[in-house]
Amino acid sequence: MESGLNKNVFSKAPPLEGFREAYTICLADNALILGHRNSEWCGHGPVLEQDIAITNISLDLIGQARNFYQYAAVLTGNNTTEDSLAYLRDVPDFKNCLLVEQPKGDWASTVLRQFFFSTYQYFLYTQLKKSSDEQLAAIAEKSLKEVTYHLRWSSEWVIRLGDGTAESNARMNKAIDDFWMYTGELFVPAQYEAIAAQEGFGVDVSALKNEWADKVKNIFEEATLPVQENTFMQTGGKEGKHTEHLGFILAEMQFMQRAYPNSEW
């Protein structure tokens, strides 16, 4: 399209990158955006130890994002770098799911979203370790050890808050109402995910749904929280159709590179 203004978020333009690049970038975008969201807690956590916990989780996620971006940059070529992928793409180019870009909300929301996503990442990376692509398999193997900690930590917090006080239980229930509709997207493959699974370098995400639902059900039972069923599921993030929240994250995250191009630390 001619003008930037006409670059419709809902356009059906084919992806510029190949499927392997798109698949790798999707993995990176999910980790980066959630890492960035969680980092908003830095200095604002409910207690010091948990402030440190959530920012350590952010650091792991951003590290995983870097590994995926570095690989995507090699695949893409043309002087692409991990930084150009993170800092110089706009909203429709990002392939993260809608769940990770939602505002951090209160502690209950952050904990619940982390639990939903860590559960997903845990089963995803367990499968991705078997990828025919050696680099994707290696990143998954490395990341899985960290995600295991995230899942344990977030499961415990879901139980602690769900089965805690009337106030903490009410907040968890509200968080479930807010976020549940974004969980379906995790298991609906985008075109590049379907092809990645077919070709053996990616994971069939639709096959992770039952394991994910079982884990959530078990933890929710212990936390005395309700599992929602037959909810309308919001999708589109993986194809670049985002909620308004992503633009605000990028505005903050990309400000320096946009205002002072090629500036270095």
User: Shortest gap between Cβ of 228 and another protein (angstroms)?
Assistant: 21
Q: Minimum CB separation from another protein for residue 181, in Å? A: 25
Please choose, out of 21-29, 76-84, 130-138, 245-253, the segment that lies near another protein by the rule CB under 8 A: 130-138
Q: Which stretch binds another protein (CB under 8 A): 154-162, 193-201, 230-238, 256-264?
A: 154-162
- What is the Cα–Cα distance from 173 to 180, expressed in whole angstroms? 10
- By CB under 8 A, tell whether 181 contacts another protein: no
Q: Which of 7, 44, 130, 152 binds another protein (CB under 8 A)?
A: 152
Residue closer to another protein by CB (options 121, 242) is 121
**Which tokens hold the place of 152?**
């344990």
Q: How far is the CB of 59 from another protein (least distance, A)?
A: 4
Query: Which residue, among 32, 45, 33, 44, has the nearest Cα to 153 in the 3D structure?
Result: 45
* Class of residue 13 by CB neighbours under 10 A (exposed 0-12, middle 13-18, buried 19+): exposed
Question: Does residue 17 touch another protein according to CB under 8 A?
Answer: no
Under rule CB under 8 A, how many of the chain's residues touch another protein? 36
Q: Does 69 bind another protein (CB under 8 A)?
A: no
265 three-class SS: coil
- Exactly one of 15, 81, 92, 149 binds another protein (CB under 8 A); which one? 149
CB of 44 to another protein, least distance (A): 16
Give dist(CA 203, CA 60) in Å, integer: 21
219 makes contact with another protein (CB under 8 A): yes
- Using CB under 8 A as the criterion, what x/- string covers residues 187-206 for binding another protein? --------------------
- Smallest CA-to-CA distance from 27 within 64, 73, 81, 70 is with 64
* Closest by Cα among 265, 252, 262 to 32: 252
Helices (H), the chain: 19-39, 48-76, 82-87, 98-101, 107-128, 134-162, 166-179, 191-199, 209-222, 245-259
User: Which residue in this structure is represented by tokens 């992928």?
Assistant: 85
Q: What are phi and psi of 200, to 5 degrees?
A: 90, 0
> What's the min distance (Å) between Cβ of 43 and another protein?
15
Residues interacting with another protein, by CB under 8 A? 49-50, 52-53, 56-64, 66-67, 122, 134-135, 137-139, 141-143, 145-146, 148-149, 151-153, 155-156, 159, 219, 222
